[in-house]
Structure 1
Amino acid sequence: MKQIAGIATLVASLLTTPVLAEDRFSKVEIISEPVAGNVYMLKGAGGNIAVLVGEDGTFMVDDQYAPLTAKIQKAVTGLTDKPLRFVINTHWHGDHTGGNENLGKSGVLIVAHENVRERVSTEQFIEAFKRKVEPSPPEALPVITFSDATTFHWNGDKVRVQHVGSAHTDGDAIVHFAKADVIHMGDIYFNGTYPFIDLSSGGSVDGMIEAMDTALALSGKETKIIPGHGPLSTPAEMKVQRDMLATLRDRILKLINTGKNREQVIATKPTKDFDDKYGQGFMTPDIWTGIVYDSLAAKANNS
């Protein structure tokens, strides 16, 4: 239930006023969890954060919301006395990039795929929430971008940040800490719920499955998986969700191919045997089925 509440917080944050958000974030606690080696996961509100500590300085993946920056910094100082040097954005959504401006002003170098910089620097519209997102200020923009992948040799680890194509959005990156044997998935993986696929930001259900396959190919049995939302995970757990996505994608595609329209596909309840496990989050079964329908219909129209 804590996981579901946390994801509900994500949606609420997209829709509430700044004053209400400030009040709500005042109650959020940042919790640090050891993952492997010198990698930790920070949980608060919004996307899970990865922190790599060591003598070179601190390396962080995602930064949640602006009102939480001070709490996140305090949590990091509880792990190391070395300064924060780099922040990776796994994609552009505010629950993963909201702290960019605060950290950018403090001299932290922000790194992301080039599509992330393009989206945070221009007005966006998230169709699923009917919400316009204003451009971020210059201090919040990634100052280092890449088109395919980039690698950091940092704190004794080899950290590869790899773009995975159009999955949750068109700017998604997975972050692989090779020595620690940890992968941060960003919002390609919502552990325990149907994942949000932001079609208006270039996402696709096929891309979600392919991105999971990419991460699984990098994984061994002992690899730790940090999901964008939900508890720390394993490759085996992520494989279960990957297979669920593929099964439901195929079911919905079959219904489309029989001539059913969007409302008719939703009415068949194609997800019903998975809903007890995955359908309790903000992506309700009907909403999620509609998003997958739209993703597959758009692909068919473009082929």
Structure 2
Amino acid sequence: MFSKAILSSFLFLIAINSYAQTDTGEKASNKLIKVSNKIYMMQGNGGNIGLSVGNDGVFMIDDQFAEEIEQIQKDIKKISDKPVRFLVNTHFHGDHTGGNAGMAKSGTVLFSHENVRKRLLEVMRKETKKMPEDALPLVTFSEDLTFHFNGEKIYVFHVHNAHTDGDAMIYFTDSNVLHTGDVFFNGKYPFIDEQNGGSLMGNISAMEKALNIINEDTKIIPGHGNIATFKDLQTGTNMLTTVYKRVYTHYANKKSEEEVAKMTDITQEYDAKGYGSGFISTDAFLRMVYKNVAEERNSIDSNAEKNRKAREKVEKMMKEQEQKEKN
């Protein structure tokens, strides 16, 4: 029930917040932040966009909402008069892929993990308002992908069952900049889409993989939030690991989801830093962690029971065989 409620709220917010507005009702412009000589982050109403600009053109990561794409394209022109040649979706959620069709129509080639295309196809089949087929990535990959663009190697790699089942991170190796997609919400509790293949332990593993690839000087563009550092990503990883262990202990001691959701001491030090002030509240986060722990334990207990029954069956067969030999 929890994940369905959270996902419904998430999609509802995406629908009603299709573009940011000023007090006058006009569209708010996006904020362009220079991360390195070649790399920019664009902050708007959806997920953070990554941009590489250079002689080869523009390389883009995610594109927020459909209603905003014209303004986004205008804002990109402020830093480069060259075309956006390639775009990589970090996952399938509408605040990161809503502008896909608009970008494709302008000649941009769309890339994503194969599960992103699969999820977008599912959305297309379910939606009453038809999503343009142009919104589908033209090129998909299963694990890793490398671009040689704007004078550097751009490493795109899949992380398994993290925020969703189709997450990709993008590492600009020479610029030393990493875009994490929604695997990392800087300074906030993350949303993990369990209904679409996401998992808490997968998210932790993905963040640990990123930490092993980058270094202490790497600048990080998170899916949401401000530009981050290696230390910020470490802190986010430690937060997830710490809260998971604490909830696991309470679950093992037979505490219910309702009881755990009210235990403010579990997240006290993170709440004090504002982690619960984002899209995911402390209550919702604790319930999500509890649900992940419960599913993990149920799987372990189920396998243990299957193994027990298998052992009993083998022992019974052995005894029957021994009896036959005696007779």
Alignment of 1:92 onto 2:92: yes
Query: CA, structure 1 residues 148+240, in 2 after alignment: closer, same or farther (shift >3 Å)?
Result: same
Counterpart secondary structure, 2:81 = coil
Counterpart secondary structure, 2:54 = coil
CA deviation vs aligned residue, 1:14-50 (integer Å, no higher than 9, x gap): 242xxx7468484221111111131111111111111
Deviation at 1:11, TM superposition (A): 6.7
Give the alignment partner of residue 295 of structure 1, picking from 287, 292, 296: 292
Partner of 1:33: 33
**Contact 1:91/1:173 (<8 A) preserved:** yes
Q: What CA distance in whole angstroms lies between the structure 2 residues aligned with 1:298 and 1:266?
A: 17
Q: What CA distance in whole angstroms lies between the structure 2 residues aligned with 1:135 and 1:274?
A: 41
Partner of 2:69: 69
Structure 1 segment 47-86 matched on structure 2, within 5 A: 47-86=47-86
Counterpart secondary structure, 2:148 = strand
Give the alignment partner of residue 147 of structure 2, picking from 145, 149, 152: 152
Backbone CA RMSD of aligned residues: 2.3
**Contact 1:10/1:95 (<8 A) preserved:** no
Structure 1 segment 3-22 matched on structure 2, within 5 A: 13-16=13-16, 21=18
Q: What CA distance in whole angstroms lies between the structure 2 residues aligned with 1:154 and 1:251?
A: 44
Deviation at 1:293, TM superposition (A): 1.2
Deviation at 1:265, TM superposition (A): 1.7
Number of residue pairs matched by the alignment: 287
Tell me the TM-score normalized by structure 1.
Answer: 0.89
Counterpart secondary structure, 1:111 = strand
Partner of 1:259: 254
Query: CA, structure 1 residues 196+36, in 2 after alignment: closer, same or farther (shift >3 Å)?
Result: same
Q: In terms of mean alpha carbon deviation, does 149-158 or 263-272 score higher?
A: 263-272
Query: CA, structure 1 residues 23+56, in 2 after alignment: closer, same or farther (shift >3 Å)?
Result: closer
Equivalent residue letter for 1:164: V
**Contact 2:162/2:192 (<8 A) preserved:** yes
Structure 1 segment 202-221 matched on structure 2, within 5 A: 202-221=197-216
Partner of 1:164: 159
Deviation at 1:98, TM superposition (A): 0.5
Q: What CA distance in whole angstroms lies between the structure 1 residues aligned with 2:205 and 2:71?
A: 35
Q: What CA distance in whole angstroms lies between the structure 2 residues aligned with 1:149 and 1:280?
A: 34
Equivalent residue letter for 1:38: K
**Contact 1:62/1:90 (<8 A) preserved:** yes
Q: What CA distance in whole angstroms lies between the structure 1 residues aligned with 2:163 and 2:18?
A: 24
Query: CA, structure 1 residues 286+114, in 2 after alignment: closer, same or farther (shift >3 Å)?
Result: same
Query: CA, structure 1 residues 180+135, in 2 after alignment: closer, same or farther (shift >3 Å)?
Result: farther
**Contact 2:19/2:68 (<8 A) preserved:** no
Partner of 2:3: none
Counterpart secondary structure, 1:171 = coil
Partner of 1:274: 270
Counterpart secondary structure, 2:112 = strand
**Contact 2:113/2:140 (<8 A) preserved:** yes
Deviation at 1:123, TM superposition (A): 3.1
Partner of 1:249: 244
Partner of 1:6: none
Equivalent residue letter for 1:227: P
Counterpart secondary structure, 1:50 = strand
Partner of 2:324: none
Give the alignment partner of residue 142 of structure 1, picking from 137, 149, 156: 137
Larger radius of gyration: 2
Query: CA, structure 1 residues 105+230, in 2 after alignment: closer, same or farther (shift >3 Å)?
Result: same
* Structure 1 gaps, min length 5: 1-8, 126-130
CA deviation vs aligned residue, 1:156-196 (integer Å, no higher than 9, x gap): 11001100101111111100000100000000111111111
**Contact 1:165/1:211 (<8 A) preserved:** yes
Counterpart secondary structure, 2:85 = strand
**Contact 1:160/1:176 (<8 A) preserved:** yes
Equivalent residue letter for 2:184: Y
**Contact 1:30/1:75 (<8 A) preserved:** yes
**Contact 1:51/1:58 (<8 A) preserved:** yes
Higher relative contact order (CA closer than 8 Å, sequence separation 6+):
1
Q: What CA distance in whole angstroms lies between the structure 1 residues aligned with 2:13 and 2:54?
A: 33
Deviation at 1:12, TM superposition (A): 6.1
Counterpart secondary structure, 1:36 = coil
Equivalent residue letter for 2:90: T
Partner of 1:286: 283
Equivalent residue letter for 2:175: A
Q: Percent identity?
A: 42
Equivalent residue letter for 1:300: R
Q: What CA distance in whole angstroms lies between the structure 1 residues aligned with 2:286 and 2:102?
A: 37
Equivalent residue letter for 2:40: Y
Q: What CA distance in whole angstroms lies between the structure 1 residues aligned with 2:139 and 2:261?
A: 42
